[in-house]
């Protein structure tokens, strides 16, 4: 009996070691982004501007809409109070319309719930869920998770009617890891007491940043007099300012991004958690999470091998001259061939 227990413990340790080490070795092969605004009502205009600012940046840097899940709890672009319909600006000078003309919202209005968010991350969606509403990640996926809204010590409110706790968030990420749904995750949250949302994380390969520490408020940046409300939060404003100067050939690192909003401009203290992340953020390109840059081998010459095709007693040898296309004889109709 004791021998069987020892064998069981050895096997359990081997499986646990494999689950903690084998996934990262597969390498980073693709990028996904989950961008969530959890607030409703016109006075929360800035939260919609926050999430659309990040959406615009990751899309500009190469992550396609098919790999971006955008959740917006309210439609500010079509709100009757909006003096500029079909637009959402993140600056009072109206430099950038972050709503644009090609935004694809995957979850909107009352679809933005804690249940749908957790189901999305863990892959526990009902049968028949459209592909556009699924997070189809794998063990090679780098996932950016961005959350903005109203929060407190250990929770983030959804729609002013429910909340997700820091423990629920941690457990959802652990399910993702166990199901091989990510390679590395960058968790980014802009809300009051944001750091409390990542304190309970225990899964590997997660880098987390929050706009404020426990006990601190995350503040807005400025008001747009034309609409009468704050238009963007401070942390996302400076994050966007950094990302606007990033292109696909950039050498800027995630470590630089983590320093975009010092206390002198953010007023709140930006929190960072790096102990679960295996790499040095200063050596990680920012496009590993905010872009979609893949190594590509360019072939300037393509050689076409000559083909020999037997058709009955005929032998056709195409020309060996290099050309763009090679002709292939049609397949013989076996019904007309006498045996």
Task: Return the beta strands (E) in 132-268 as ranges.
Answer: 141-148, 151-152, 155-158, 162-165, 184-190, 206-210, 220-224, 229-233
State yes or no: pLDDT of 267 exceeds 70.
yes
Amino acid 113: pLDDT:
95
Amino acid 100: pLDDT:
80
Q: What is the mean pLDDT of the chain?
A: 84
pLDDT in tens, 34-81: 999 999 888 998 999 999 999 999 999 999 999 999 999 988 888 888
Domains of the chain, first to last: 26-290 (3.40.50.1460)
Task: Output the pTM of the full model.
Answer: 0.80
Calculate mean pLDDT across residues 157-176: 95
DSSP string, 279-323: S-GGGSBTHHHHS--------S--------EEETTEEE----S--
Whole-Å CA distances, 203 to 5, 178, 282: 27, 9, 21
Calculate mean pLDDT across residues 201-226: 93
Known catalytic residues?
Answer: 150, 192
Which run of H or of E encompasses 34? strand 30-37
Which of 107, 117, 121 lies closest to 73 in space, CA to CA? Answer: 107
Calculate mean pLDDT across residues 271-285: 95
Which run of H or of E encompasses 70? strand 68-72
């Amino acid at each position: 009996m004791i021998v069987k227990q020892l064998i069981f413990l050895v096997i359990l340790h081997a499986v646990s070691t494999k689950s903690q080490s084998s996934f990262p070795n597969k390498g980073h092969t693709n990028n996904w982004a989950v961008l969530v605004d959890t607030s409703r009502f016109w006075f929360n205009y800035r939260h919609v501007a926050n999430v659309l600012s990040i959406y615009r940046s990751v899309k500009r840097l190469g992550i396609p809409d098919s790999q971006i899940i955008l959740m917006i709890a309210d439609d500010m672009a079509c709100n009757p109070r909006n003096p500029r319909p079909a637009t959402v600006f993140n600056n009072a000078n109206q430099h950038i319309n972050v709503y644009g003309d090609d935004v694809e919202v995957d979850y909107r209005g009352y679809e933005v719930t804690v249940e749908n968010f957790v189901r999305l991350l863990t892959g526990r969606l009902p049968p028949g869920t459209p592909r556009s509403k699924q997070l189809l990640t794998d063990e090679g996926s780098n996932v950016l998770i961005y959350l903005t809204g109203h929060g407190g010590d250990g929770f983030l409110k959804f729609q002013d009617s429910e909340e997700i706790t820091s423990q629920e968030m941690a457990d959802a990420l652990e399910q993702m890891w166990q199901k091989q749904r990510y390679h590395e995750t960058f968790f980014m949250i802009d809300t009051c007491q944001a750091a409390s949302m990542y304190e309970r994380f225990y899964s590997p390969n997660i880098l987390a940043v929050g706009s404020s520490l426990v006990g601190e408020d995350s503040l807005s940046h400025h008001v747009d007099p034309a609409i009468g409300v704050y238009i963007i939060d401070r942390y996302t404003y400076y994050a966007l300012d950094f990302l606007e100067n990033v292109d696909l050939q950039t050498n800027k690192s995630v470590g630089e991004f983590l320093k975009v909003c010092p206390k002198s401009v953010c007023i709140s203290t930006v929190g960072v958690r790096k102990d679960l992340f295996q790499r040095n953020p200063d050596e990680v390109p920012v496009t590993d999470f905010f872009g979609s840059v893949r190594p590509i081998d360019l072939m300037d010459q393509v050689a076409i091998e000559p083909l020999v095709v037997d058709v009955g007693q005929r032998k056709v040898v195409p020309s060996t001259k290099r050309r763009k296309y090679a002709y292939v004889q049609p397949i013989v109709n076996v019904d007309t061939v006498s045996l």
